[in-house]
A = this chain, B = another copy of it.
Amino acid sequence: MVSEHKTADVSFESLLRIFTVPEGPDSTLTQIDEELSRNLNKFLREHIVAEEKPLWEIEKDFSNATIPEQPEFVSDHTQHLLDTLVSHSVHTSAPSFIGHMTSALPYFLMPLSKIMIALNQNLVKIETSKAFTPLERQVLGMLHRLIYHREDSFYSQWMHSANHSLGAFCSGGTIANITALWVARNNALQAQGEFKGVEKEGLFKAMKHYGYEGLAVLVSERGHYSLKKAADVLGIGQEGLVAVKTDNNNRIDPVALQEKIAELKQSNIKPFAVIGVAGTTETGNIDPLRDIANICSQEDCHFHVDAAWGGATLMSNNYRQLLDGVELADSVTIDAHKQLYIPMGAGMVLFKNPDAMKSIEHHAQYILRKGSKDLGSHTLEGSRSGMAMLVYAAMHIISRPGYELLIDQSIEKAKYFASLIKQQPDFELVSEPELCLLTYRYIPTHVRHALEKADSTQKAELNELLNELTKYIQKRQRETGKSFVSRTRLNPSQWERLNTIVFRVVLANPLTSRDILSSVLVEQREIAKTAPNLMARIESVVDSISNK
């Protein structure tokens, strides 16, 4: 808001000033800048209000669709942002915010981000990025090697080769997965005889040329929701994304996968890709990648691994065998903004074969000329920022053994939390952690006993009430603002695959202590007491079961 005694003016001179001269040392913005540099965590703690303001009330501050006719002073507007936006943002880096895949970030990334943004490179082409282009190619090479551990000569041949690409850096896992399936689709429907390829002639003619009735991508029923989006965008249709059933540990069942493939082929539907999940979003489980690889090799399918979450586990020599078989994948998605601790907006897809991306290569007159090393000729996105610099810096400053420590402690913390939950008589661990994710729910001992004895109607009824309770606790805990866990819906085998709402916890923040984990449970138990009506309804079902 513009202060009353002075008004910002709109003259070309004042505008030029904002492109050149920073505010004085006393300005709000300079102070915030320094405060952030001195102690990021303190800044966030002090400026983000813990208790949740209802969304409809926040919306009032963001209701005007008119672009202001009057400029504001930088300092005034910064104060306004602190009051209305920062204070009601989410403290995603808080050690007690364990509900989603965000974490504290290494502090050195803040000033480095400022350099990155100030340089304002555009990675689409060398003319607007220069050294950032080889840097990004090196980062892709490093991730490629982490997955495929090819020899030095492989990387000296391909990493900087014009017309080749080991992968694509993109804004996140969704674009990475779409890119992988785009490449897979185009390679499956490539030029042949008179047919010029799906990229030129489109899907309809491709299907007619190849004589298929449909296309399919197979993934476990725990695959990420974005894959449906990918199937839609690519013209395959959401129904072409075929869900394969999972075992009791949320891992794809290879026998079921083979059966599905056979079934599709009998209907003349071409299964052109299978996706293995390395770290399901809800439970963190990893598909049997080697088994899928074998099936894909038999069936001549593209094998893509969605390791957006779990890919960073490869940094740990102690746990990388969890992803055994990933090196057989034709392509792999890894998000750097997840367990590589990079700020939001950094995903990657890597391809085993440096030629794979040829099927999506594109050129233009004024940029991306043939033979150039411009990154833009192999990316779905056009203009892109220099985010790869942050990955590069983190790789060097943290190093592989540093990442190993981070990964290991996250997994071990999840194991600890699982054992803590199991020790509580009134909590139930629903999914064991394989990576640093687990799910559980609050269910008093006698309720659990009743549930075990109940007939199927009572079981369903009681389970519905427990779902309500879980939702109630999760929502109230979030609103109170001391800590945050998320929730999701699973179909656990121990409860006859009933729809079960559970707390979901992601333990990737290195600052999350064991004390915090204990207090999360204490708080949830306390919140449960604040729902007497719901508890009474649960008790009444429990009584009816006991009295049977």
Contacts and interface: CB of A to CB of B under 8 A. Distances in A.
Nearest to A18: B106
B16 A343 contact: no
Nearest to A87: B131
A115 B36 CA distance: 8
A548 to B, nearest CB: 33
Contact of A78 (B43, B112, B233, B405): B112
Given A59-B160, A105-B19, A92 B114 contact: no
Nearest to A360: B232
Most B Cβ at <10 Å: residue of A58, A214, A233, A395: A233
Contacts of A131: 58, 61-62, 84-85, 87-89
Contact of A15 (B70, B117, B145, B402): B402
A472 to B, nearest CB: 16
A108 B511 contact: no
A23 B40 CA distance: 12
B343 A120 contact: yes
Q: How large is the interface on A (under 10, 10 to 19, 20 to 34, 35 or more residues)?
A: 35 or more
B120 A63 contact: no
B85 A135 contact: yes
26 contacts: A15-B510, A19-B104, A22-B37, A30-B37, A36-B115, A55-B133, A65-B142, A68-B396, A71-B396, A78-B112, A86-B115, A86-B119, A90-B121, A92-B119, A120-B343, A171-B345, A173-B383, A178-B233, A198-B232, A199-B237, A202-B214, A203-B236, A205-B214, A229-B380, A344-B383, A366-B504
Among A61, A84, A131, A368, chain B packs the most CB atoms within 10 A around the CB of A131
B401 A71 contact: yes
How many identical chains are in the complex? 2
A315 to B, nearest CB: 7
Contacts of A145: 65-67
Contacts of A510: 12, 15-16, 19
A7 B61 CA distance: 50
Contacts of A84: 131
A381 to B, nearest CB: 5
Contact of A344 (B71, B89, B121, B400): B121
Contact of A100 (B122, B202, B214): B122
Closest 4 CB pairs of A and B: A235-B235, A202-B237, A225-B364, A203-B235
Interface string A368-387: 10000100000011111110
